[in-house]
Structure formats: C-alpha cells, structure tokens
C-alpha cells in the first residue's frame, strides 16, 4: 500500500512528537524489573529507547533518543510547511542524519 506524501509527513510528525513529548515510564520500569519475560516486554512502550545494553558487571544500560533533536526536527518541519514542501524534505533528511549519528 502506497502512502501519499501527506500521510508520510503525518507519520513523521507523530513519531517526532512522540519522541519529543512522550512518556518514558515504561523504560524506567524496565530498569527496575527483576524478572523479564516476553509477556512483560510486549506490554512495555519502549519507543523512546535507542539502545539497550547489559554490561559485563551486571545491570542494564538504556540510551534514549534525543528529545531536543526531535524538537529541532519538528521546528524545521513546521517552518518548512509555511513556506514550501522542500522544507519538509530538508527536515526529513536532517532527522534521518541525526538518528543515524545517534546509532553509530
């Protein structure tokens, strides 16, 4: 199923808004959960997590996506909407670059 540019833009904005303003309570629950199983993990909203590690010494390390970068991408999107659609594509490209940098 092909998505229109408007649908893609809407999904992008929703994802960025979720990263910028969303609740990270479930990720914090993950830190303090003694028993992890599939049933528990499937119920957790871990959208905001970019990386999870279990260090050799024990425990768990969680990295989150950068809320400020998500806000900056949203600002670029909103500014681009008022002028032309090329702003949307610039913000989209910047968002992809930002998240790729976070992954490396």
pLDDT digits (tens, 9 = 90+) for 48-58: 999 999 899 88
End-to-end CA distance of the chain: 31
The whole-number pLDDT of residue 25 equals: 94
Confidence at 69, pLDDT banded by 50, 70, 90? very high
- Over residues 32-46, the mean pLDDT reads 87
The rounded distance, in Å, linking the Cα atoms of 22 and 67 is 9
Report the range of poorest mean pLDDT among 4-8, 46-50, 93-97: 93-97
Instruction: Give the pLDDT confidence of 7-32 residue by residue, as tens digits.
Output: 888 898 999 999 999 999 999 988 88
* Per-residue pLDDT at 4 exceeds 90: no
Quote the number of domains for the chain: 1
* Per-residue pLDDT at 88 exceeds 80: no
- If we measure between CA atoms, which residue out of 66, 51, 52, 61 comes closest to residue 99? 66
Task: Identify the domain containing residue 40 by its residue range.
Answer: 5-103
């Amino acid at each position: 199923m092909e998505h229109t540019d408007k649908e893609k833009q809407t999904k992008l904005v929703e994802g960025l808004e979720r990263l910028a303003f969303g609740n990270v309570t479930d990720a914090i629950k993950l830190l303090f959960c003694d028993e992890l199983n599939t049933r528990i993990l499937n119920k957790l909203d871990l959208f905001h997590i970019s990386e999870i590690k279990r260090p050799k010494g024990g425990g768990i390390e969680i990295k989150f996506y950068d809320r400020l970068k998500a806000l900056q991408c949203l600002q670029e999107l909103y500014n681009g909407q008022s002028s032309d659609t090329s702003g949307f594509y610039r913000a989209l490209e910047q968002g992809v670059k930002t998240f790729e940098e976070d992954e490396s």
